[in-house]
A and B are shown apart, each in its own frame.
Chain A
């Protein structure tokens, strides 16, 4: 089946630094990937849609300069949290739309803690 690899699984960083999260489709090409944020005991909130070779589409209220998305190849999308602050601490999950029979496949998520 389709597999999406997300790294790192956990990261702790200091306020003011930047953190990069990678989302990689391992056995299929993903022209579109999605980035979600999930607060404790809450649902997944879509942050942005990442399109290979073009600019990401951000959901309303999501700061594109804060959350930089790059989708430079058909198998890799990255989310960079710039100048991180404690309020950016959260669980971030990526998803890729694979072949029609696979639907949407999710990465295992990244727990970001900003101290």
Chain B
């Protein structure tokens, strides 16, 4: 069964600093997708970044990048130059093919001005 684990319920960082959110997952498949979603107070789920398992290169989207370690089944999110607008709940998620998304427990990120 798919499982996704986020071991950090809460994280905080100073504005303009860098923070890394952790995520591990378990799957028996070799082809799958990994995602990081952001949920601000509005509760709208916003895609931050995604990674295809068959790609060795780590995905990057502006200030957001991932460290994908397939053998270790680890998928951490690094946010550089943190901004106040980055404050939100962050969910790591996993899917196999076009199937359902399974979410981790979430990490609440606070940005300190």
Contacts and interface: CB of A to CB of B under 8 A. Distances in A.
A2 to B, nearest CB: 10
B50 A43 contact: no
B3 to A, nearest CB: 12
Contacts of B105: 42-43
Nearest to B50: A103
Contacts of A49: 99-100
A93 B100 contact: no
A32 interface: yes
Interface stretch (B12-20, B40-48, B66-74): B40-48
Contacts of A46: 100-102
Contact of B91 (A34, A44, A95): A44
Main secondary structure of the interface of A (DSSP, over half): strand
Interface string B29-55: 000010101000011110100100000
Interface extent on B, as a size class? 20 to 34
A34 B45 contact: no
Contacts of A67: none
Contact of B103 (A32, A43, A105): A43
Given A43-B91, A97-B98, A104-B35, A109 B43 contact: yes
Nearest to B97: A97
A49 B91 CA distance: 20
Given A93-B43, A104-B101, A106-B45, 8 more contacts: A32-B98, A43-B106, A44-B103, A46-B100, A49-B100, A95-B45, A103-B35, A104-B47
Interface of B: 33, 35, 37, 42-45, 47, 50, 91, 95, 98-106, 108
Interface of A: 32, 34, 38, 41-44, 46, 49, 91, 93, 95, 97, 103-106, 108-109
